[in-house]
Amino acid sequence: MSYLQYRKLKNILFLGSLYMSALIALLPLFLILQYLILKGATSLNLDFFLHDPSPVGEAGGGMRHAIVGTLYMVGIGSLISVPIGLLCGIYLAEFGRGKTAKILRFTIDMLTGIPSIIIGIFAYILIVAPLQSFSALAGGFALSIIILPIVTRSTEEILKLVPTHIREAGLALGLPRWRVIFQIIVKGNFKSLITGIMLAVSRAAGETAPLLFTAFGNMYLNFQISEPMASLPVQIYTYAISPFDQWQEQAWAAAFVLITIVLGINLVSRALVNNKMIIGQSKRVINHTRLIRKKKGN
Amino acid sequence: MNEKQTEQKVTLATKDLHAWFDDFHAVKGISVEYPEKTINAVIGPSGCGKSTYLRCLNRIHEEVPGAKASGEVSLLGQNIYAPHVDPVELRRNIGMVFQKPNPFPNMTIFENVVIGLKLQGYSKKSYLLEVAEHCLKKAALWEEVKDKLNRPGTSLSGGQQQRLCIARALAVNPPVLLMDEPTSALDPIASAKIEELMTELKKEFTVIVVTHNMQQAARIADYTSFLVLGELIEHGLSSQIFTNPKEQKTEDYVTGRFG
Ligand SMILES: Nc1ncnc2c1ncn2[C@@H]1O[C@H](COP(=O)(O)OP(=O)(O)OP(=O)(O)O)[C@@H](O)[C@H]1O
Ligand SMILES: [Mg+2]
């Protein structure tokens, strides 16, 4: 075998192993999706979205209450943690050199590593025990602790990629630091920041453990923040280990809906961000050309 | 010429200006006066502290972590390093073109030019467009971009980006303009246009320009400073620096024997 052939062979082997790894990484997602579609989508019907569970033994019923509950509590969690996480991330990226920043960064890293069941216990002690009731608030709070470190770190990483000379360009124009940060750095990376937030939000939407003894669960539709609330993950957990065939089927359906919501959040947010940009820009193009034409007419 | 020097008002003056990066002493006690309506060149071998010096003049140097400066820089008689001076306010009066082109990546060509005005509160589109056209023409870029003002600033070539940055600095109409090697990435024709621009600007403003191009300095600058290793070796009329330098080092450098 000549040297050239040897090198070509090496090349092929290397490329081959890359493709193999890519395939192996993709495989779980496809298998999961396939399973969920086969088992979940087939158990799905309109009632699933429009009705709350029917009593044991009775046919029909749905999971409207859990879908609403999941969105509700993820909403609470995001409301608390997205602003704080964004600001923390901006602080770390733009000013993060001192000791405070070091401690904050360390804390955030620790927070990422805390098992979610422990976050649930923490929320239980902090909110459920004093109020003596499971509640949507406690669930939302637990989810906010999941969301916070992910948003913070993704924000920091994204903003750190912005080269210093862009900041200097802004400062040299006589812009105050906060304007440089918000109107140039943050605005310029809006898309990536949203993607980071969505990643955190969809992570939270799929969590079961933090909700088990905070929001607990509910068989009825609930909008009260101080009362127990159903969520898709907990509902899946409850139904999947039940002995009833119908419940198990509904657990599959719920799993399918949950993953659709999670993927949907991602896709919709991306589409929204992209669309806004495109619309905004085409409008601007029109304005300019009109102005130029007008000027030429004069 | 010397008579002229004495009657001219001094726009910008440095007095014993030092600059550090942590422990590294990059600029060592420079004192120079820049008369109004002049072009002033700063020359010297690579790494001698020209950029650092220039960056002290609008207090952008201190934004680098670990960097500090001491001494005095007075703009129209007022020390800009005095404690009550707001660097943000100050920088509106001193425009800067950086060594590396740095257009804002998230903005269109048009937005890049008018961003300074926009953030100062001007919002009338027709006015902004007029300013953009005016500044882009001055920066010798208008013909190349007039049909694609909505393309991202970063879609331009390196040299075009540099001219975009010049236009951006011009838009806020600063009385002092600092330019760090503005033509090093440009072809001779564009360079000539920028030189023309500087000569134009000189009618109203004070320009301080860092350059590695001796001919350029000799051509356009009224005064030239020569720096080596952070120290000012010689400062004087360009005609004198390039034809009859007092220091041996200057002579060696401008004749190409050193540097
Ligand atoms: N951010 C920094 N941190 C530490 N040292 C720096 C930094 N920037 C520049 N220096 C050092 O300061 C000195 C002066 O650098 P400066 O950029 O002012 O040189 P210059 O004269 O502009 O060179 P050139 O002609 O290559 O642009 C150099 O020795 C350089 O290594
Ligand atoms: Mg330099």
Domain boundaries, chain A: 61-297
**Number of neighbouring beta carbons within 10 Å of residue B180:** 20
* Atom in ligand 1 nearest the alpha carbon of residue B22: 4
Task: Tell me, in angstroms, the distance from the centre of ligand 1 to residue B213's CA.
Answer: 18
pLDDT digits (tens, 9 = 90+) for B149-206: 999 999 999 889 999 999 999 999 899 999 999 998 888 988 898 898 899 889 988 9
Neighbouring-strand partners of residue B43: B226
Structural domain boundaries, residue B120: 103-173
pTM of the model: 0.84
Residue to substitute in B18, B20, B21 for testing ligand 1 pocket (most ligand atoms within 8 angstroms of CB) = B21
Asked if pLDDT for residue A292 goes beyond 60, the answer is no
pLDDT digits (tens, 9 = 90+) for A217-242: 999 999 999 999 999 999 999 999 99
CB contact under 8 A, B150 and A284: yes
The mean pLDDT value of chain B amounts to 91
Last residue of one domain, picked from the residues B173, B204, B230: B173
The residues, ordered by sequence, that sit 6+ positions from B52 with a Cβ below 8 Å of its Cβ are: B19, B21, B26, B27, B61, B230
Q: Output the furthest CA–CA distance in chain B (Å, rounded).
A: 56
In a domain, B26, yes or no: yes
For residue A175, list chain B residues with Cβ-Cβ distance below 8 A: 88, 116, 119
Element (H, E) at A29: helix A3-35
At A281 the three-state DSSP class reads helix
| Cβ of B103 below 6 Å from ligand 1 | no
Question: B18 and B124, same structural domain?
Answer: no
Average pLDDT of the segment spanning A274-293: 48
Task: Report residues near ion ligand 2: CB below 5 Å.
Answer: B 51, 99
The residues, ordered by sequence, that sit 6+ positions from A255 with a Cβ below 8 Å of its Cβ are: A36, A40, A236
Element (H, E) at B74: strand B67-75
- B 191-220 residues inside an 8 A Cβ radius of A: none
Average pLDDT of the segment spanning A163-190: 91
Nearest CA in chain A to B121: A175
Question: B256 and B181, same structural domain?
Answer: yes
* Atom in ligand 1 nearest the alpha carbon of residue B55: 18
Give how many domains chain B has, as a whole number. 2
| Cβ of B24 below 6 Å from ligand 1 | yes
CB B175 within 8 A of CB B6: no
Q: How confident is the model at residue B258 (pLDDT cuts 50, 70, 90)?
A: low
Residue of B130, B133, B145, B150 for testing the chain A interface, max A β-carbons within 10 Å: B150
Residue to substitute in B48, B179, B214, B227 for testing ligand 1 pocket (most ligand atoms within 8 angstroms of CB) = B48
CB B95 within 8 A of CB B174: yes
CB contact under 8 A, B106 and A187: yes
Q: What is the pLDDT of residue A279?
A: 42
Q: How confident is the model at residue A276 (pLDDT cuts 50, 70, 90)?
A: low
Asked if pLDDT for residue A277 goes beyond 70, the answer is no
Q: Does B98 touch chain A (CB under 8 A)?
A: yes
% chain B with pLDDT above 90:
73
Question: B235 and B190, same structural domain?
Answer: yes
Question: B209 and B82, same structural domain?
Answer: yes
CATH at residue B237: 3.40.50.300
Last residue of one domain, picked from the residues B132, B149, B173: B173
Q: What is the pLDDT of residue A286?
A: 43
In a domain, B76, yes or no: yes
Instruction: Give per-residue burial for A52-62: e unless 16+ CB within 10 Å, then b.
Output: bbeeeeeeebb
Question: B217 and B165, same structural domain?
Answer: no
Question: B159 and B197, same structural domain?
Answer: no
Closest to A73 measured CA to CA, from A198, A272, A225, A260:
A225
In a domain, B98, yes or no: no
CB contact under 8 A, A291 and B125: yes
Give me the residue from A171, A188, A285 closest to B150, CB to CB: A285
* Atom in ligand 1 nearest the alpha carbon of residue B48: 21
Question: B188 and B86, same structural domain?
Answer: yes
Last residue of one domain, picked from the residues B136, B157, B173: B173
Q: Does B1 touch chain A (CB under 8 A)?
A: no
Chain B: give the shortest CA distance to residue A286, in Å: 10
Question: B247 and B180, same structural domain?
Answer: yes
Angstrom distance (rounded) from CA B72 to CA B56: 10
Q: Does B89 touch chain A (CB under 8 A)?
A: yes
Cα torsion B109, B114, B115, B121: sign: negative
User: In the CATH hierarchy, which fold is given to the domain comprising A61-297?
Assistant: MetI-like fold (1.10.3720)
CB B12 within 8 A of CB B57: yes
**ipTM entry:** 0.89
Q: What one-letter code names the amino acid at A34?
A: Q
pLDDT digits (tens, 9 = 90+) for A23-76: 999 999 899 999 999 998 888 888 889 989 888 777 788 899 999 999 999 999
Q: What is the pLDDT of residue B152?
A: 92
Question: B71 and B153, same structural domain?
Answer: no
Angstrom distance (rounded) from CA B206 to CA B32: 14
In a domain, B43, yes or no: yes
pLDDT digits (tens, 9 = 90+) for A113-146: 999 999 999 999 999 999 999 999 999 999 999 9
Average pLDDT of the segment spanning B217-234: 94
At B259 the three-state DSSP class reads coil
Question: B69 and B3, same structural domain?
Answer: yes
Angstrom distance (rounded) from CA A167 to CA A186: 11
Q: What one-letter code names the amino acid at B105?
A: P
Q: What is the pLDDT of residue A275?
A: 58
Angstrom distance (rounded) from CA A143 to CA B4: 73
Question: B144 and B65, same structural domain?
Answer: no
Q: Does B162 touch chain A (CB under 8 A)?
A: no
Closest to B130 measured CA to CA, from A296, A129, A273:
A296
In a domain, B238, yes or no: yes
Asked if pLDDT for residue A283 goes beyond 50, the answer is no
Question: B181 and B87, same structural domain?
Answer: yes
Asked if pLDDT for residue B107 goes beyond 80, the answer is yes
For residue A285, list chain B residues with Cβ-Cβ distance below 8 A: 150
Chain A: give the shortest CA distance to residue B43, in Å: 22
Asked if pLDDT for residue B2 goes beyond 60, the answer is no
